[in-house]
Amino acid sequence: MIIGRIGVALALSLWLSLIAPAAMADTPAFDTATVLDVQPVLSRVAVESTRQDCVPATRDSRDLQSLYPGLAAAIEGEHARQVEPACRSVRMTDFREEVSGYRVRYRYGAGEYERVMSYDPGPTLRVRVQVRPGP
């Protein structure tokens, strides 16, 4: 029975010294880094739109008389003009700059690092660290 317990103790010791550190090396840990600088990254974006482009067109009263005979008596020789706009749809492409990300410079431990992120992290940044056993 003592040999059985020694065998279990040896197996457990072997597992803790060899297998457990290797399993823990694949498990990430998290820590906090200090943000040193944040700069927005701008991208030029095309914005499509349609607008109505209208130009006033004029029509002489004599043209109106041919279209509307009852109007001839009301006009009685005056050359009144009516303004009718001529409109067309015009496609427009405008460009604007918008923030597409943030270039973040941060310090973790003794090193400084930089990466582009989709959001402004604020004064601190959560970083993933991985501990590996030494040689």
CB-CB neighbours of 53 under 10 Å:
11
Contact residues for 115 (Cβ-Cβ < 8 A; gap 6+): 103, 104
pTM higher than 0.75 for the full model?
no
pLDDT of 27:
72
pLDDT beneath 70: ranges in the chain = 1-26, 57-83
Supply 8's token pair. Answer: 């279990």
For residue 131, what pLDDT is reported?
Answer: 78
Q: How open is the CA angle 29-25-118, to the nearest 5 degrees?
A: 40
